Structure 1
């Protein structure tokens, strides 16, 4: 019996040691990975996500750490892109202002009302660009948060009110237009959707080239409300249509700058629509373009 008891004890110790080794390894291994990944983040790099194999507190901690490093990486990429975009965007107008002001100071050229007006318009474009950057930053910061500032509104009334603000400009440029808007109440951020509609209408007017009327539609579909603006405009190459909603994108850089475009209006519109869980896009045959977006009912 003593021999059997001794054998059983040794067997129990062996199993216990093996089980303890396995449990310690299971606990220590992800902890070591977490420590190593934390060290890499501290050094300024962003490690690959740590695999999660459990649903306990350790698994929850690793999940939160993965989400944190992912968000830090996104924030860093956004900062780098923003700095690059801003330096590129401000370089030309600031160079123009500096060149003309230096020439005026040194007496190389003489000032006249036309020149001063050009310098003023260039300064206004920079001011407008800064204001749009602030708007874009606000939507970027809140892009991962729930959109709580929403209310039920009559979308037809909102569209008609938004388009009314452009009536004088449409009449001034003799641009015909037609509206076909379905009556529907939907839950939206009123300020944001008004800005999207205004951006699309403003772009359609700014780059309008043709004789046919702009077609402004509001359609109540099965699960979404779709708003679209169709009209003739500046040609957009098929290869570049996917980039139209990118920040600072221009089809024709020199012409767009002359018309006052900053390449931010559609990017801001995309941020706002996506915050509403909607979609935004365009269809075009190169000359006639339809810009559209949807909001879930």
Structure 2
């Protein structure tokens, strides 16, 4: 496995592989990899001849008051995980390699990005779409792999690929959880012992909604109320949003009568965590 830092090095490797008739999978990440990322790499390795893992903390998807400078980084540990999983190449560019001093071209979307995480992070998905679009152009993969934990991101990327005719397949992969139900996240490393325990209210509240739906409840207002009550019982938790939205349009729904995404964002102390469940 190689680690490269320039666009030209990636393109040279891809040209060689494609000349040999090989298929290429891409796993875009911001690093500090965990078992959730490994599950993406594992699937990519199983479905492609070569796998590129990008490790890049993308500055343009962070807001002014967000954790760009403190976002966890550990390239040595990430490299070991990628090597073990069978990746062929890590692309780890400096920001200057991705964004020149005169950079001024962005990918915007007029649907899907205004609600959920986009409501409080207005520039986030512009940054995500722009960097992912650049990675697609640089790597030219046959398939790219994204986790369902970032469900809105997955929906946005699929829509962007359709709109802009990118010649690749987007593969969504299931959420990977800790034994107690907490969704794997690089930001879990921010949590103190007490906050780590408190963070279980995310998966617990989703489970409450699932149980109610399994028992026949379809009113999203009643489901939201039950989830809200559970989370508000935890002193360290502060709700950002609890939403039930159409899984295709991401527009709010009043009834579970179609494929629906139940997405939540909750602050545990100062750390913002997200989780979701999709009813299909």
Between structures 1 and 2, the one with greater helix share:
1
Which protein has the larger Cα radius of gyration, Structure 1 or Structure 2?
1
Between structures 1 and 2, the one with greater strand share:
2
Q: What is the TM-score with the length of structure 1 in the denominator?
A: 0.22
Q: What is the TM-score with the length of structure 2 in the denominator?
A: 0.23
